[in-house]
Structure 1
């Protein structure tokens, strides 16, 4: 098996949707949402085998101080065979000058990411999910009386 990795040719939304269906955290994304995700992503890595998409990862970054690795996924039939290493190497190469790089992952992948210099980060990680989001109470505005 010989994988190829690209950082210049993004996958189609349909291809990535097929891969995302394998992950609980991405299964609900629509092809339209994925198309927007792809269009707004500058740092990514795509791994293919004989032209078929088998791995993907991306980063969100300000280009200087912070980056967040996100949506890193390898097709379930290709896990443990080097595709994840290609994705991580390509992403880390693109982010070489960034001060801090963050990621969220399951504990079963901790050792894998430690190979790239990641360590547990002290503090509290919080998330606001769209389906659970609420508006905070607003302050009374004396100018409008509301």
Structure 2
């Protein structure tokens, strides 16, 4: 297994397959075009490959100065717990730090807080500012 990381937009079909295979699209129900367009608008992204197969992905939405939001950190199930997600996250955080962005936030999948805490992230306090509009 030789994992390579590329700062390039993955193939539309491969990314859609990754999104579908991992169950991420179950709730969202995005089509390939929507998913590709959203991904294409990212401030920064990183794709992980085993040879030529897309096995992981992560991206950042940011203003490039103050705030960055890490989203869509996805790794195929049979590649999880092998350091790939950690490497993707480290590369995303490093990009923020290189650009001197201090406010780095993320949305965490249910049950995954331990993974992010291991990498220095902390839960926002209950009294912290911020709100979310629930999906319909």
- Judge same fold: TM > 0.5, yes or no: yes
1:143 — aligned with what?
none
Consecutive unaligned residues of structure 2, counting only runs of 5 or more, are none
Taking structure 2 as the reference length, the TM-score comes to 0.86
Taking structure 1 as the reference length, the TM-score comes to 0.80
Consecutive unaligned residues of structure 1, counting only runs of 5 or more, are 133-146
The Cα offsets for residues 40-90 of structure 1, whole Å up to 9 and x where unpaired, read as: 113011000011000001010011111111111001111111110121111
1:22 — aligned with what?
21
111, 116, 132: which is aligned to 1:126? Answer: 132
1:3 — aligned with what?
3
Larger helix share, 1 or 2:
2
1:45 — aligned with what?
46
Q: What is the number of equivalent residue pairs in this alignment?
A: 129
Alpha-carbon distance in 2 for matches of 1:122, 1:107: 17
Question: Which moved further from structure 2: 95-104 or 105-114?
Answer: 105-114
Residue 128 of structure 1 deviates from its aligned partner by 3.7
Kindly report which structure 2 residues correspond to 1:110-121, keeping only aligned pairs within 5 A, or say none: 110-121=113-124
The two structures, once aligned, show a CA RMSD in angstroms of: 1.6
Tell me, yes or no, if the aligned pair for 1:47 and 1:86 is still in contact at 8 Å.
Answer: no
Residue 22 of structure 1 deviates from its aligned partner by 2.6
Alpha-carbon distance in 1 for matches of 2:53, 2:68: 28
Where in structure 1 do 4 or more consecutive aligned residues deviate above 6 Å? none
Alpha-carbon distance in 2 for matches of 1:116, 1:65: 21
Alpha-carbon distance in 2 for matches of 1:23, 1:122: 29
